[in-house]
């Protein structure tokens, strides 16, 4: 049985946590249990990313029930609660803002200290389930790793104790720095028709998956209208739910949009690195594009990553309002070929996170609920 558990559930989690897992596994002192919640279960949404990033298989995989958010969250909490009965970890680690992080409620019910990677990010868009989830886990957490100083400030403004939050930088930078030499291999994994586009044409990469975008007919229509207005070819690895919605709503996609099924990390990063720009509502993709100096159109009413606008790496497209599509495309074209400073860190975030977890373990200083010497929450008003 492990000493500490890491619970993940979706594709971006595997990417972002890949180096952290390897670093903790290298510590002789700590046994890490890697738990997969089962939120993403199909091979091209999970296993391919384990293989391409050389991430070991999970120690435990749950078979969660249901298709709705409520079903998935409830099943995750129940599965973890039962697991924690037999596995009394010194701490459990969650990452991000998905249904899976709501499993932190089960850890809290067992009084197991909670560590949250990617803490205190806020979009201030309460339509988003992710905004609710990230707010909940941050207020439950005993140690929070925030990527930027501005994120920490957002947390403290909500009353989260400053001593609980450590600024680390963003581990996605580490992953890109260490794996960028592999991206060229993506050409060997793509269909020849896609490679022909990459080699012979200027093209744009697109992704779209957020529920506030694809489940709202007005927003999805606005997004497809934007893509249809682009003169360049668009390569669109489209999630199955987005495909289902387009078919159901009978929204016409232009001939310039080349739709393919979801692809692996290496293939996607190869496409992204060689694209003219990207159109996306994915926070991770927008980060990756910024780090690779690929301009982006961010299809969001609001974002938890405003720094991409601050450094001049991205153009905002709000799907909930009427837009001048030609102007949006013109603005992003002005960014093509320009340079900006990467705002997400220097590539040492994974090391900082892993070392802090190791230090807490060796010093036996993981939080102890209900004790007066509670190390990370002494600034809470009810602690004396």
Positions marked active-site: 209
* Side-chain-facing half-sphere of 300: CA atoms under 13 Å: 27
Tokens 């037999």, located at residue: 86
| Euclidean distance between CA atoms 119 and 145, whole angstroms | 6
Instruction: Output the six-digit token pair for 184.
Output: 């060229």
Q: Are 342 and 290 in contact (CB under 8 A)?
A: yes
For the chain, the residue count is 384
Strand order in the sheet with 314-317: 257-260, 233-237, 203-206, 277-280, 296-299, 314-317
* Tokens (6 digits) for 274: 């060689």
DSSP 181: G
Q: Render 95-163 in DSSP notation, one character per residue.
A: ESSSGGGGGHHHHHHTT--EEEESTT-----TT-HHHHHHHHHHHH-SEEEESSHHHHHHHHHTT--GG
Q: How many CB atoms lie within 10 A of CB 343?
A: 21
Q: What is the Cβ-side half-sphere exposure of residue 213, based on CA atoms within 13 angstroms? A: 22
Task: Report angle CA 60, 62, 67 to the nearest 5 degrees.
Answer: 155
């Amino acid at each position: 049985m492990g000493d500490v558990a890491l619970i993940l559930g979706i594709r971006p989690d595997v990417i972002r946590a890949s180096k952290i897992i390897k670093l903790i596994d290298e510590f002789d002192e700590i046994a890490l249990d890697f738990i997969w919640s089962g939120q993403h279960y199909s091979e091209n949404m999970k296993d391919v990313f384990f293989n391409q990033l050389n991430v070991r298989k999970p120690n435990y995989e749950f078979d969660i029930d249901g298709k709705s958010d409520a079903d998935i969250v409830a099943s995750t909490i129940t599965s973890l609660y039962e697991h924690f009965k037999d596995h009394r970890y010194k701490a459990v680690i969650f990452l991000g803002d998905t249904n899976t992080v709501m499993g932190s409620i089960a850890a809290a019910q067992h009084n197991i200290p909670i560590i949250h990677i990617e803490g205190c990010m806020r979009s201030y868009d309460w339509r988003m389930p992710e905004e609710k989830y990230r707010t909940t886990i941050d207020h439950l957490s005993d140690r929070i790793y925030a990527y930027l100083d501005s994120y920490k400030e957002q947390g403290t403004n909500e009353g989260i104790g400053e001593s609980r939050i450590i600024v680390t930088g963003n581990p996605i930078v580490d992953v890109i720095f260490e794996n960028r030499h592999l991206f060229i291999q993506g050409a060997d994994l793509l269909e020849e028709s896609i490679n022909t586009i990459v080699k012979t044409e200027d093209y744009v990469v697109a992704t779209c998956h957020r529920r506030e975008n694809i489940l709202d007919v007005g927003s999805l229509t606005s997004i497809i209208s934007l893509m249809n207005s682009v003169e360049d070819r668009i390569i669109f690895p489209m999630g199955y739910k987005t495909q289902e919605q387009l078919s159901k709503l009978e929204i016409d996609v232009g001939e310039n949009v080349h739709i393919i099924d979801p692809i692996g990390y290496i293939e996607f990063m190869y496409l992204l690195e060689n694209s003219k720009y990207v159109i996306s509502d994915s926070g991770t993709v927008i980060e990756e594009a910024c780090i690779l100096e690929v301009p982006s159109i961010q299809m969001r009413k609001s974002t938890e990553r405003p720094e991409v606008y601050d450094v001049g790496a991205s153009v905002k497209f709000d799907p909930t309002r009427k837009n001048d599509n030609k102007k949006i495309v013109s603005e992003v074209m002005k960014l093509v070929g320009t340079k900006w400073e990467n705002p997400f860190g220097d590539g040492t975030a994974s090391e900082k996170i892993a070392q802090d977890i190791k230090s807490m373990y060796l010093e036996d200083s993981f939080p102890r609920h209900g004790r007066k010497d509670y190390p990370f929450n002494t600034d809470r008003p009810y602690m004396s």
